Amino acid sequence: MKNTTFKIIYTNFWSHPVRSLGLVILTAIASASLLTSVLFSKSLDTGFEQLSSRMGADLLIVPGETEVSDQPVLLQGGLSHSSLPHEVLEFTRNIPGIRIASPQFYFTTLSASCCDEKVNIIGFDSKTDFTIKPWIRKTYKKDFLPGSVIAGSDINIDKSGKIKFFDQEFTVVGSLEPLGNKLDQAIFADIETIEIFRKAAASKGYNFISVNEPSAILANLEENADFEKISQKLYGRFDNLQVVPRKNMFDSVIATAASFKIAVWAIAGIFLLIAIAAVTIAFSISTNERKKEFATLLIIGAARKKLSNIVLGESLLISGSGAIAGTLLGTVAIISFRFLIQENINIPFVLPNVFAIFLAIVGALFVPAIFGTLASYRIARKVGKIDVYTALKEDA
């Protein structure tokens, strides 16, 4: 009897191919939307957690022309190439309430052996740095020797372990964990190596900033230090700079991430509701059209429970097929396009760990399949209670 039930389910699926495949496609879209929503949200959370744990500065000092209102410069990897006067660093260090201040240097080169696109170079002072160095120490724990660099996670390094800029070779001593933004496509170097960069560039006719003029200064405050007083001292002494508190560094990132999450979850919810409604309507119409078929099965000895199982089985076949197809599509899409997403959304985006991805895939498989099957449950029960005489009379 089981084989007969399966045969009826399979035969009916292909007897209405347009309707069946249409429902499969709708369920697949719902499943893919659900999976991408979960992975997208988790990737934003993972990227932000990694970024906030690395970005331990209480304030950021940047040149006045640097755009920080729309997105934080350092957080997004949208690096400024202007610089601060060299006096700003020492002045900052001497302000009461400043616990530590460290410079960073940014410039971009198109002359690299590693990449087809521009490469951001980020310099830091390993003696005073407290933001980049702890991040680097997760993968590289030795001293920073002149001529050595650390590569972002998206930088491809050949087997030689060397990378060339302006005909000058540098030794890549380690690669960093991904952050999910343009900093993954950057090269990090101590200020002694930055000076080698500068001289190599100068020999080719490129005049980059001096190591005495930082692109940004990151500082941590003493406990109970007054940010407003510190920023007033800086603004009172220097004209062309901006002092950005830690809160402002993350506010725009959090707000943008929240907007993206709401959008993707709304889309997933809409497609799931559409799929459920479509399955309900399609099976309601189908069972009304097949009353004579169900009545005939009852006459030849089929149990009423079998009729219900046929309807539920057809729904499960459609919902399950769509869920499998959608899960495969969603997984391939978000993994394949993650770099494009990182490039365009301007907020940290890092895929979660394998276990979290596995749970998301399981959820995307079962949720649409279960909801799709439940959508036809009431109809299946109604079919199981069908009256043979009435069904045959209506069809006559």
How does residue 209 score in pLDDT terms, banded at 50, 70 and 90?
low
Q: What average pLDDT does this structure show over 71-100?
A: 75
Over 50: is that where the pLDDT of 388 sits? yes
Region of residue 76 (phi > 0: left; psi between -120 and 50: alpha; otherwise: beta): alpha
Domain boundaries, the chain: 2-51+253-395, 65-239
Q: SS3 helix, strand, coil % of the chain, rounded to 5? A: 60, 15, 30
Q: What span, in angstroms and rounded, lies between the C-alpha atoms of 245 and 247? A: 5
User: 265 or 247: which carries more pLDDT confidence?
Assistant: 265
Lowest-confidence range among 8-12, 28-32, 78-82, 250-254?
78-82
pLDDT for residue 380: 76
The pair of three-digit structure tokens given for residue 291, joined into one six-digit string: 């009353």
Q: What is the largest CA-CA distance in the chain?
A: 97
Over 90: is that where the pLDDT of 121 sits? no
Over residues 365-382, the pLDDT tens digits come to 888 888 888 878 877 777
Q: What span, in angstroms and rounded, lies between the C-alpha atoms of 120 and 368? A: 44
**DSSP reduced 3-state for 34:** helix
How does residue 11 score in pLDDT terms, banded at 50, 70 and 90?
confident
Average pLDDT, the chain: 79
Over 90: is that where the pLDDT of 94 sits? yes
How does residue 328 score in pLDDT terms, banded at 50, 70 and 90?
very high
CB of 193 closer than 8 Å to CB of 169: no
pLDDT for residue 197: 86
Q: What average pLDDT does this structure show over 147-171?
A: 86
Over residues 276-297, the pLDDT tens digits come to 888 788 777 777 767 676 667 6
pTM: 0.59
Backbone angles phi, psi at 59, to 5 degrees: -150, 155
